């Protein structure tokens, strides 16, 4: 099934079925960019794990869940269930509706450990590159010369690869968010090519990534409605997205042992969705104020648009990102949602880049319509956007996570990291242990790992850190006090080196 006629000269590329990898150079070039990007992401993640910069929350949560899937069981995460009061048999489907994680289970038959998740995430985050390249080539290829359009597409591909939302996602261990960029890129490129069946399949898979992906699907539907040939499918996407988001958060998550209100962050508007929606409609000023208060919210949105030089503001594609951004910025709690860190940018990064490409084409069209513009200059107007966008992306690298790659300390093994290696080696395979957040990922693959926190779990082994603050403690002093408490209540010290302590229950 196709959406609209296959018109080759449509500047948006709608209905274009002809493949754009027409030369061997294109195939090699885009494969090289994607491969190098995946290798870079994997190196960053694996080096962080090896140097004990990864965290129990959330890497060990996902590691335990996918391991459980690989053994044909439900996605149980003991560390999540125990720490958050749900019990050791807690399924992560009661935390977030992410059944798509089951697709990673076969990889654990090859290598059983958190390294598998980090490599898989690296590949997933690099997968959008060929689809963004094709999307950009088509978008610029209608009114421009084909070689120039492809050069612009290479700029966009590299700009995406080094963009700060991708860098921050890689730096924050592993999350289900890694599935969203490739699925979104496939959906938008296939929609551009007029393939309704492929578009629907990609949208269906998005709904399996997380409970709020219904908002993204609804946003994509809003974009489709702006086009005459996509209104029916767009309306279906809006309806399906809203219904699925409600069902996943209010029905499915409680069914698997979670709470529908566990991540409710809108108390400034109301105690539940109906009351919050009512307040927002009757007092719109309050809702608008929340979007920019505190000011970090506006800065984060501006940073999201910066890699495409704000041209996404001129494209209806960007409508797809609005529901997810509203979900984050209307929150009055969970400050992590507002900042330009962690993995939240990955949910909309492809939409922003696709919107930026389309917006640049539209702006170029308006500039070309100005009187006195020469024909040759008109042909290259949109391409002139791609090179500055790439320059902006490269210039931002030192200010975000990938900047660490250029510092010797990121790669170096120190006395502290060697002490951590010695500490985790003391714990025998198969033992149950409580581990400090930065040590837990090194133990997750071979022990029953719990988070060392403020509540004694009385596991046979405890691996603690009394030199550097670790989640969820508020200070090193509190961590030292916890170790003293355990030593006074049946534990003995069996290892001590450079701030790390290993205790065994007598």
Would residue 200 count as lying in a domain?
Answer: yes
Residues whose CB falls within 8 Å of the CB of residue 474, separated by 6 or more in sequence, listed in order: none
User: Which neighbouring-strand residues pair with 426?
Assistant: none
Query: What are the pLDDT digits (tens) for 364-416?
Result: 888 777 766 555 444 466 778 999 999 999 999 999 999 999 999 999 999 99
Backbone angles phi, psi at 441, to 5 degrees: -60, -30
* Residue 436: domain span: 415-505
Same domain (yes/no): 370, 471: no
The verdict on residue 228 lying in a domain is yes
398 and 430 belong to one structural domain: no
Q: Helix 180-192 and helix 213-225: axis angle, to 10°?
A: 20
- 351 in the same domain as 465: no
Residue from 169, 248, 237 nearest 202 by CA? 237
In the numeric block, the tokens 């919050």 are attached to: 276
Residue matched to tokens 């994509």: 220
Rounded distance between C-alpha atoms, residue 283 and residue 286, angstroms: 6
Q: Compute the distance between CA of residue 50 and CA of residue 115 in angstroms, rounded to an integer.
A: 10
In this structure, is residue 198 part of a structural domain?
yes
Q: Residues 360, 452: one domain?
A: no
Confirm whether 11 is domain-assigned.
no
Residues 456 and 400 in one domain: no
Residue 9 lies in a domain: no
Quick one: 329 and 247 in the same domain?
A: yes
Q: Which residues partner with 500 through β-bridges?
A: 465, 497
Q: Does 447 lie in the same domain as 423? A: yes
Answer yes or no: are the C-beta atoms of 92 and 75 closer than 8 Å: yes
Same domain, 312 and 433: no
Instruction: Note whether residue 410 is domain-resident.
Output: no
* CA 38, 39, 42, 48 torsion-angle sign: negative
| CB distance 199 to 233 below 8 Å | yes
Domain end point (choices 385, 405, 425): 405
Whether residues 148 and 96 fall in one domain: yes
pTM over 0.75? The answer is yes
Q: Which of 340, 374, 405 is the last residue of a domain?
A: 405
Q: Are residues 188 and 231 in the same domain?
A: yes
Q: Tokens 């399924």, residue?
A: 91
**Rounded distance between C-alpha atoms, residue 215 and residue 217, angstroms:** 5
Please give the DSSP secondary-structure letter assigned to residue 339: S
Q: Say if residues 397 and 171 touch (Cβ distance below 8 Å).
A: no
Structural domain ending residue among the three candidates 405, 440, 461:
405
- Print pLDDT tens along the chain (506 aa): 444 434 344 444 444 444 455 577 888 999 999 999 999 999 999 999 999 999 999 999 999 999 999 999 999 999 999 999 999 999 999 999 999 999 999 999 999 999 999 999 999 999 999 999 999 999 987 544 467 788 899 999 999 999 999 999 999 999 999 999 999 999 999 999 999 999 999 999 999 999 999 999 999 999 999 988 889 999 999 999 999 999 999 999 999 999 999 999 999 999 888 899 899 999 899 899 999 999 999 999 999 999 999 999 999 999 999 999 999 999 998 999 999 999 999 999 999 999 999 999 998 888 777 766 555 444 466 778 999 999 999 999 999 999 999 999 999 999 999 999 999 999 999 999 999 999 999 999 999 999 999 999 999 999 999 999 999 999 999 999 999 999 999 999 999 999 999 999 98
* Contact criterion met (CB below 8 Å) for 64 and 88: no
Contacts of 84 by beta carbon, 8 Å cutoff, 6+ apart: 90
The answer to whether position 6 is within a domain reads no
Non-local (6+) Cβ contacts of 155 within 8 A are 386, 387, 389, 390
Ranges of H-type helices in 180-272: 180-192, 196-206, 213-225, 231-247, 253-255
Q: What gap in Å lies between CA 165 and CA 351, rounded to an integer? A: 12
Question: Is 135 inside a domain boundary?
Answer: yes
* Same-domain check for residues 463 and 331: no
Q: Are residues 423 and 389 in the same domain?
A: no
Instruction: Count the domains in the chain.
Output: 2
Count of other CB atoms within 10 angstroms of residue 355: 26
């Amino acid at each position: 099934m196709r959406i609209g006629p296959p018109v080759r000269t449509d500047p948006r590329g709608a209905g274009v079925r002809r493949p754009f990898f027409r030369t061997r150079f294109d195939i090699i070039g885009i494969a090289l960019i994607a491969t190098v990007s995946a290798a870079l992401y994997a190196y960053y993640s694996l080096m962080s794990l090896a140097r004990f910069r990864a965290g129990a929350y959330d890497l060990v949560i996902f590691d335990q869940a996918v391991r459980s899937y690989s053994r044909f069981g439900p996605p149980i995460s003991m560390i999540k269930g125990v720490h958050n009061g749900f019990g050791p048999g807690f399924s992560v489907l009661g935390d977030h509706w992410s059944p798509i994680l089951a697709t990673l289970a076969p990889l654990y038959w090859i290598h059983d450990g958190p390294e598998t998740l980090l490599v898989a995430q690296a590949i997933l985050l690099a997968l959008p590159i060929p689809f963004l390249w094709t999307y950009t080539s088509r978008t610029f290829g209608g009114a421009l010369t084909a070689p120039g359009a492809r050069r612009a597409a290479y700029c966009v591909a590299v700009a995406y690869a080094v963009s700060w939302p991708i860098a921050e996602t890689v730096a924050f261990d592993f999350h289900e968010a890694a599935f969203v960029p490739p699925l979104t890129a496939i959906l938008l490129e296939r929609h551009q090519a007029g393939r309704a069946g492929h578009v629907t399949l990609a949208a269906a898979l998005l709904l399996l990534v997380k409970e709020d992906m219904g908002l993204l699907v609804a946003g994509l539907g809003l974009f489709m409605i702006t086009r005459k040939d996509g209104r029916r499918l767009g309306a279906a996407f809006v309806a399906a997205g809203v219904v699925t988001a409600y069902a996943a958060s209010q029905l499915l998550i409680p069914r698997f042992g979670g709470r529908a209100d566990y991540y409710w962050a809108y108390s400034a508007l109301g105690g539940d969705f109906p009351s919050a929606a009512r307040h927002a409609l009757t007092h719109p000023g309050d809702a608008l104020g929340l979007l920019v208060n505190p000011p970090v919210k506006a800065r984060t949105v501006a940073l999201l648009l910066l890699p495409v030089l704000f041209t996404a503001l001129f494209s209806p594609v960007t409508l797809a990102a609005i529901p997810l951004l509203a979900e984050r910025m209307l929150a009055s709690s969970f400050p992590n949602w507002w900042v330009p860190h962690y993995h939240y940018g990955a949910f909309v990064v492809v939409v922003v880049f696709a919107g930026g490409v389309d917006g640049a084409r539209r702006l170029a069209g308006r500039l070309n319509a100005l009187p006195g513009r020469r024909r040759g200059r008109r042909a290259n107007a949109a391409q002139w956007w791609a090179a500055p966008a790439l320059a902006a992306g490269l210039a931002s690298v030192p200010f975000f996570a990938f900047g660490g790659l250029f510092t010797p300390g990121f790669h170096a093994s120190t006395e502290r990291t060697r002490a951590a290696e010695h500490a985790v080696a003391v714990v025998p395979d198969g033992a149950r242990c409580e581990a400090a957040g930065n040590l837990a990922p090194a133990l997750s693959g071979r022990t029953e790992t719990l988070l060392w926190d403020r509540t004694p779990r009385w596991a046979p082994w405890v691996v603690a850190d009394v030199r550097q603050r670790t989640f969820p403690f508020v200070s090193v002093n509190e961590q030292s006090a916890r170790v003293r408490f355990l030593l006074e209540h049946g534990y003995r010290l069996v290892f001590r080196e450079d701030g790390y302590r290993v205790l065994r229950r007598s």
